[in-house]
Amino acid sequence: MADDPQRNFRSAYYEKVGFRGVEEKKSLEILLKDNPLDLEKLSTFSQRFPLPSMYRVHVWKVLLGILPPHSDSHSLVGSYRKEQYQDIMEALEVMRFIKSSTPSTHVYLRMFQLESHMLPRCSEISPPDQENEDFLSISQAMEEIVEDSVDCYWLIKSFISQFHTKFGDSVPHLPKSLEHFLSQEEPGLLSHLKNSGALAQLPYHLWFRRCFAGVLPESSLQRVWDKVISGSCKILVFVALEILLSYKIMLLGISRPEGIVKFLCNIPQENTDAIVTKAIDLWHKYCGTPIHAM
C-alpha cells in the first residue's frame, strides 16, 4: 500500500512540535476534554512526552492551579484572574510603585510582593537581592514563552510558589545528587572538577534556583519546565549533568575554577535542544517516569 503523503506530513509536523506520533496528540486532546480534568494523568503525560506550544500554556495553567480541574469554569475563572491582575496593577500605580516606563518583569515582582505581603516601603526600596534576582530571571524567561501579560504573571507567580513549596527542601540537596550521577557517568570529569576546586563553585543557583532561566533559550527551557511543573525537580540535575557531559573535553582543558564557572554560565546556545533531549533520556534511565519525583 502506497504511503499517504498527508499522513506523512502530519507525522513529521507532530514530531517537530514534540510528539512522536499522531496518537499522542489524540491522547492529550482526550485528556483535555475530561470534565473534571484528571490532574494525575495530565501530569504523567507531561512527564512522558514533551508538550507542543499549542497546548503548553493551557496545561501549565491547569497543573499550577491557575485554572481549576473543571474545564467548564475555565472561562469564568480566567476572567477573575484578569480582573485581579488589573486591580493589583492599579493599586501599585496609585501607590507609585510602578509607572508606564517600569519594565514588565519589575512590575511582576511588585505584584508578587504585594500579594505576598512583602512589598517594601517606597523609602526602603533597594537593589534586588538574590531571591528577587531569581524571580526577575524566571520572569524574563517566562515572557519569552508566554505572550499574554495576564497569563505570564499568573504562571510566574504560581510556578515560583509551587517550586518553593514542593521542592524548597530538596533544592539544597541537588548538587550532591549531581555529584552522584556524574560519578556514575563520568568519574574522570568529577575528579577534575574536585581537584580544580570547581565542583563547589558550579553555578548551582542558575541551574537549580532559577531552573536554568537565563542559561537555556526558551525553546529548550520550556521542555525542562514541562517536567518541573508536572512534578519533578530532579530533571534539573540531569540537565546539569548533560551540560557537563556535553562539554567534557572543554572542561577538562580548563584548570582554573573561575574559568570553568565562567564557561558554564555562558554555554553555547546552538546545542541546547540536543542537551535537553539527552538529559530527559538520562532522567528516564535513572528515574523511570516518576509522577512526583523529588
The CATH number assigned to the domain holding 190 equals 1.10.472.80
pLDDT tens readout for residues 116-168: 999 987 656 667 788 899 999 999 999 999 999 999 999 999 999 999 999 99
pLDDT tens readout for residues 56-79: 999 999 999 999 999 999 999 999
Owning domain of residue 233:
168-294
Identify which has the larger pLDDT, 33 or 14.
33
Residue 128 lies in a domain: no
Predicted local distance difference test score (pLDDT) of residue 19:
45
DSSP code string of 12-80: HHHHHHT-SSHHHHHHHHHHHH-SS--HHHHHHHHHHSPPPHHHHHHHHHHHTTSS-S-GGGHHHHHHH
Residue 18 lies in a domain: no
Pairwise CA distance, residues 257 & 247, whole Å: 15
Residue 227 lies in a domain: yes
Instruction: Inform me whether the pLDDT recorded for 293 exceeds 50.
Output: no
- Split into its structural domains, the chain has a count of 1
Selection from 122, 107, 234, 252 nearest residue 187 by Cα: 252
Residue 262 lies in a domain: yes
pTM of the complete model: 0.88
**216 Cβ contact partners less than 8 Å away, ≥ 6 residues apart:** 224, 239, 272, 276
Indicate the pLDDT class of residue 101, thresholds 50, 70 and 90.
very high
Residue 76 lies in a domain: no
Pairwise CA distance, residues 59 & 43, whole Å: 9
Give Cα separations from 46 to 37, 38, 120, 131 (angstroms).
Answer: 14, 12, 38, 28
Give the DSSP H or E segment for 245.
helix 235-246
Residue 116 lies in a domain: no
Q: Percent of the chain scored above 90 by pLDDT?
A: 79
Least confident of 19-28, 152-161, 179-188, 242-251: 19-28
Residue 38 lies in a domain: no
Pairwise CA distance, residues 81 & 66, whole Å: 8
Predicted local distance difference test score (pLDDT) of residue 125:
66
Q: Cell 506550544 maps to which residue?
A: 53
Environment class of residue 237 by beta-carbon count within 10 Å: exposed (0-12), middle (13-18) or buried (19+)?
A: buried
Residue 268 lies in a domain: yes
| Secondary structure class of 258 (helix, strand, coil) | helix
pLDDT tens readout for residues 183-214: 999 999 999 999 999 999 999 999 999 999 99
What's the chain's average pLDDT? 89
